[in-house]
Amino acid sequence: MGEMMNEGQSLGNDIDLSQFYQIFFEEAGENLDQMEQMLLALDLEKADDEELNAIFRCAHSIKGGAATFGFADVAELTHQMESLLDKLRRHELTPTAAMVDVLLESSDALRGLLGAHQGRGGTPPATADLVARISVLAHGEDAEHTEPEPAPVVVAAPVSAPAPAPRKAAAAKVERDLEIHIGPLENPSQADGIADLFRDIPGLGTVEALPCDLSTKRVWRARTSASDGDLMDLFTFHVGKDDIRIVDNSAVAAGAAPLDDEPMGTGHPNPTTEGRDYGFFEGAPGVPNASAPAPAAAAPVKVAPKVAAGAPTGAGLESSTLRVSVSKVDQLINLVGELVITQAMLAQKSRELDDASNQPLLAGLADLDRNTRDLQEAVMSIRMIPMSVVFNRFPRMLRDLASKLGKKVELVTQGESTELDKGLVEKITDPLTHLIRNSCDHGIEMPEERRSKGKSEHGTITLSATHEGGSILIEVRDDGKGLSREKLLKKAREKGIDAPDSMTDSEVWNLIFAPGFSTADEVTDVSGRGVGMDVVKKNIAALNGTVEIASAEGFGMRVSVRLPLTLAIMDGMSVRVSDEVYILPLSSVIESFQIKPEDINTMGQGAQVVKVRDEYMPVVELERVFQVPRFEFNGTSPIMVVVEAEGARVALMVDELLGQQQVVIKNLESNYRKVPNVSGATILGDGKVALILDTSGLVRRTRH
């Protein structure tokens, strides 16, 4: 966080400190997510050292930032977590389920504390009990059978601009005379950056080189108020801790004990000092300091991110990522969309030009077409994020739910790297959450019931994501008891729903999407209120997606959700029906061909089919579906465009294929209303509006 200030930025009273807090809140949230995932994946019997170190680093990063910005309650709780995790990584304690539970609870509490500091409202969670329980576990005692010692009550103040935490030791302000010995080193020049720290970090102190054998080591005399632990944390970004030795000449001369309780010359930091609040940052940019007046200006802090996050040095990490507001990305996508429309207009006008006399112009327009497509793909990829962002939040939820229900459930995820538009990811999270809770509550049986059926005690819920054409297929599968046809029909009739025995299995499974429909025998705080599956289908339909159910009683159930990859720009095929132009998603188009009117056969109730390679396919006349007025008939044979959706194919009857082009999807509902068989609209090159057809809706139309 040290590189948050620009060179020469004023530190006057009008500075907006919230911009610095926001970066900390975002990084803390990322660290909490990462820590939670690693805790859930931790093998208690064979805990890996690197996993324990990584969990410790997450807590350490949050503590360092909280202490720097003055969030005392967050720093106190993470300090206790850090103490327990430090003993685990040093193998002084063996990890247990109770430790994982209390650390997960602490993660939830930290989210509440951070939310209160962000000014989101609500009562900050009380952390005194958590602090006490962690302390008991850190001393190697059973938290459930040991009376914990009274712990200090930690209360969070829900303010947007918090007051700084009180500094713990005034002695840290006293300047000391130190000798810093680095080496012996094979390449002693790698230690030269240590001297630069004193120049780059305001308030750290001064340093001067002392004579020594420069071929093997470096020695400096420093005047600083920083503790030995802080200096060790900074120096280890350049050299190993085993190569550092700090001699406190002022303490030796005064016959006093060292200010820091960390033994020097060791390769391990003291857990009580690692991640401490860094006293030399007081008065630094963005750091509140009530005790000292802020100077008019100061140089930017350059080392704080390294201290707080414990990340490796070098510009590699910082230059490889850039934190950008989503609103800026959306604005960029909108501008690219307008560019695509303008390019389509130019391309349409260019067809009227003479090829011979306008060759340079046409070549330039062809380059513009190619560059626009490349730019569109690059910009769209910015919004595409992996499904792991969604999947990673479910292990914790499922663990808590299974524990509450007394069930044994394992979650298997597949295709986490499959990418989806960020806007869709945010909106699909809630439906998937309900589907997984539904599988755990209704699908997976109790352990004794699974044993009686010859199944494993542990039920399995599989969450997968794959690309299929221009869509993404997300499936939630479980190996539970599945759906009961008889039970669903009985419930439907009790609620007055027309449910004859002649219904197909697929139609029976879809009954659970009826509003207020529930198969739960009793209402609990998990399910049974009849609210959920109908909302799931409604939310998915609002994203131009579909949801299907397959089940085998006694063996399990599968819910398949299909969504478009993005809601912004897509490749489409434009077709003409009379004087109207429609857009078909290119990913749904299979083929097109001309036929004669006599090739179309009419069946019962006016349904039409056409024979395509020994297969009869339903025909959809777009002219009738959208009631397109026809003022003339040119006598040409109709053209059939075969499209596929939801695993079925239909043939759309059109007058002409106009070509392939990129189209910018405009939401029709927000500008007009929901139109059947239409998923959106776009603006053509000539400025006219064309409707984008919902191929899934057209396929479902033929089924009915």
Q: Which of 187-191, 257-261, 340-344, 346-350 has the lowest mean pLDDT?
A: 257-261
| CB 379, CB 337: distance < 8 Å | no
Give me the pLDDT at residue 3, please. Answer: 39
pLDDT higher for 42 or 17? 42
Give me the pLDDT at residue 452, please. Answer: 92
CATH number of 569-703: 2.40.50.180
Averaged pLDDT of the chain: 76
Burial of 381 (0-12, 13-18, 19+ CB in 10 A): exposed
Q: What is the pLDDT of residues 151-163, one digit of tens each?
A: 343 333 333 444 4
Q: Say if residue 658's pLDDT is above 80.
A: yes
> CB-based contacts of 141: which residues, under 8 Å, 6+ apart?
none
Q: Which of 272, 220, 255, 253 is nearest to 82 (CA)?
A: 272
Q: What is the pLDDT of residues 369-409, one digit of tens each?
A: 899 888 888 887 887 888 888 888 888 888 888 888 899 99
Q: Which of 73, 67, 83, 76 is nearest to 280 (CA)?
A: 67
Q: What is the pLDDT of residues 291-337, one digit of tens each?
A: 333 333 333 333 333 333 333 333 333 345 677 777 888 888 888 88
Alpha helices in 359-413 (DSSP H): 359-383, 388-391, 394-405
Give me the pLDDT at residue 384, please. Answer: 82
pLDDT higher for 425 or 368? 368
CATH number of 327-385: 1.10.287
Give me the pLDDT at residue 304, please. Answer: 31
- CATH class entry, domain 387-564: alpha beta
What average pLDDT score do residues 81-92 get? 87
Q: Which of 506, 605, 596, 518 is nearest to 559 (CA)?
A: 506
**Does 327-385 match 2-165 at the fold level?**
no
What average pLDDT score do residues 8-33 get? 64
Residue in the block written with tokens 């044993």:
451
Q: How far apart are CA 375 and CA 174, in angstroms?
A: 57
Quote the radius of gyration of the chain (alpha carbons, Å). Answer: 33
Q: Which of 601, 604, 606, 605 is nearest to 616 (CA)?
A: 601
The residue ranges of every structural domain in the chain are: 2-165, 170-288, 327-385, 387-564, 569-703
User: Domain 170-288 belongs to what topology?
Assistant: Alpha-Beta Plaits (3.30.70)
Q: How far apart are CA 319 and CA 316, in angstroms?
A: 5
| CB 210, CB 220: distance < 8 Å | yes
Overall pTM > 0.75: no
- Which helix (H) or strand (E) segment is 87 a member of? helix 72-89
pLDDT higher for 400 or 236? 400
What average pLDDT score do residues 95-106 get? 89
- Which helix (H) or strand (E) segment is 679 a member of? strand 678-683
**Residue 266's CB: how many other CB atoms inside 10 A?**
12
pLDDT higher for 44 or 313? 44
Q: How far apart are CA 328 and CA 335, in angstroms?
A: 11
Give me the pLDDT at residue 131, please. Answer: 87
Give me the pLDDT at residue 582, please. Answer: 94
When the candidates are 3.20.20.70, 3.30.2310.20, 1.20.120.160, 2.120.10.30, the CATH number that belongs to 2-165 is 1.20.120.160
Q: What is the pLDDT of residues 576-608, one digit of tens each?
A: 988 889 999 888 899 999 888 778 888 877 788
